[in-house]
Amino acid sequence: MTSEESLTEPEVNPLHPPMTPRTSHPVTMREVAEGAGVSVATVSLVVNNKKDARIGAGTRKRVLDTIRELGYRPNALAKNLVSGSSRFIGLVADAIATTPFAGQIIHGAQDEAWKHGFVLLVANTEGNEPAEKDAISMMLEHKVRGILYSTWFHRPAEIPAALHETDFVLVNCFSPDSDALAVVPDEVHGGREATDILLRKGHRRIAFINATIPAPAKDGRLQGYREALESAGIAFDPHLVFDAFPDQEGGYEAVEELLKRDVTAVFCYNDRMAMGLYDGLKQQGLSIPEDMAVVGFDNQEVIAAHMRPPLSTVALPHYELGAAGVRLLLGVDEPAGSSVVKIECPPVERDSVGTNILTGPRSRWTSTT
């Protein structure tokens, strides 16, 4: 190599593979600056087009062009470093996989986070302690804006100590002995909605098959059932309420008990139970909703919408839980009153409740999904 390398014009040479420098290491702001013949500061100002920055039209264009030419992408890591705070929100779930529900929580959280310029960092712990600790550590190390700690079914939860090192919101669970922010489904309201569906059809004797296992849902839905009856001026008959294991088997087996009750309608603790109940009823030669109107709970799309007839139910607002969790975390929503925010469970009417038993088949309540 001879010394006079600067013989060539110092004009912008056809630098880099003309477009998309895919193989090479990422293009930095400095390279853009050099390419455009300006300082990095200028590039930064253009990139973020700061309102009060005074940049000449020509320069701006030159920078923008160079950016396009080089395929520059800002480095979020560096950006976060200097700004001190990252745009991450952590989501710790105890069962991403076990259930379709978790997906909805993630979805809601991710949408809402995105809306505010944040991205989701997810970790699955499959309920195991050390994994959970690791997950939280990792998130803290990434300086997340905060953490959503979610469970796949509504329940009380212990708050992992590390969570206190950052902002956090419990999603689908709550802490009985602290006033941590939490978002949970409004079980009582849901129970009322479920019962109301049947009441609106004119049913007066409505059974409620509750779960055998203790849970906020168990108590809440029962209370909702009672409240709905009361509002309708119907006396609560304890005889119409009994327990079964909350799955298909349980529902199937509950049929015998149910038929002793002399009711025209039944509210099942969940959709799976209703699914089993369907089988049992059909086996008895009974038809739904003519012989027995049925509503479930959970709105498990895969089953509820496609049973024969499609099952009326009440939806668990998982999407909303995730979204509300993020809003609470970011302070977009303020918790009113209690630190536990309750989200309504919207009713979903399908054919399993038929038409109004009083006004006949022309009821306007029937809907198909």
Partner DNA sequence: ACAATCTGCTAAAACGCTTGATCAAAATTG
Partner DNA sequence: CAATTTTGATCAAGCGTTTTAGCAGATTGT
Question: C-beta of 142: minimal distance to DNA in Å?
Answer: 11
* Cα angle for residues 244, 341, 147 (degrees, 5° grid): 100
Question: C-beta of 330: minimal distance to its own copies in Å?
Answer: 17
Of the pair 78, 213, the CB lying nearest DNA is at 78
Of the pair 215, 305, the CB lying nearest its own copies is at 305
What's the residue count for the chain? Answer: 369
Residues numbered 71 to 130 that lie near DNA (CB under 7 A) are 72-75, 78-79, 81-84
Interface with DNA (CB under 7 A), residue from 41, 97, 332, 358? 41
10 belongs to the binding site for DNA (CB under 7 A): no
- The tokens describing 53, both together, are 């920055």
Of the pair 207, 273, the CB lying nearest its own copies is at 273
In the three-class reduction of DSSP (H, G, I as helix; E, B as strand; rest coil), residue 325 is classed as: helix
Residue 213 backbone class (left: φ over 0; alpha: ψ -120 to 50; beta: rest): beta
Cβ-proximal residues to 121 (8 Å cutoff; 6+ apart), any chain:
88, 89, 90, 91, 139, 142, 144
**For residue 249, which amino acid is it?**
E
Interface with its own copies (CB under 8 A), residue from 306, 338, 358, 369? 306
Residue 81 CB neighbour total at 10 angstroms:
11
24 belongs to the binding site for its own copies (CB under 8 A): no
Residue 138 near which of its own copies, DNA, none (CB within 5-8 Å, type-dependent):
its own copies
Residues numbered 241 to 300 that lie near its own copies (CB under 8 A) are 247-249, 252, 272, 275-276, 279, 282, 300
**For residue 268, which amino acid is it?**
C
40 belongs to the binding site for DNA (CB under 7 A): yes
**For residue 345, which amino acid is it?**
C
Residues numbered 309 to 348 that lie near its own copies (CB under 8 A) are 319
Residue 205 backbone class (left: φ over 0; alpha: ψ -120 to 50; beta: rest): beta
Closest CA to 208 of 281, 296, 272, 284: 296
**For residue 362, which amino acid is it?**
R
Distance CA 81, CA 77 (A): 6
Residue 335 near which of its own copies, DNA, none (CB within 5-8 Å, type-dependent):
none
42 belongs to the binding site for DNA (CB under 7 A): yes
Residue 99 near which of its own copies, DNA, none (CB within 5-8 Å, type-dependent):
its own copies
* Gyration radius from the chain CA atoms: 29
Residue 307 near which of its own copies, DNA, none (CB within 5-8 Å, type-dependent):
its own copies
Residues numbered 85 to 144 that lie near its own copies (CB under 8 A) are 86, 96-97, 99-100, 102-104, 106-107, 110-111, 114, 119-124, 134, 137-138, 140-143
Distance CA 91, CA 148 (A): 5
Residue 53 near which of DNA, its own copies, none (CB within 5-8 Å, type-dependent):
DNA
Count of residues engaged in binding its own copies, rule: CB under 8 A: 58
Distance CA 328, CA 310 (A): 35
Residue 262 backbone class (left: φ over 0; alpha: ψ -120 to 50; beta: rest): left
Residues at the site binding its own copies, with contacts judged by CB under 8 A: 20, 22, 25-26, 71, 73-78, 80-81, 84, 86, 96-97, 99-100, 102-104, 106-107, 110-111, 114, 119-124, 134, 137-138, 140-143, 164-165, 247-249, 252, 272, 275-276, 279, 282, 300, 302-303, 306-308, 319
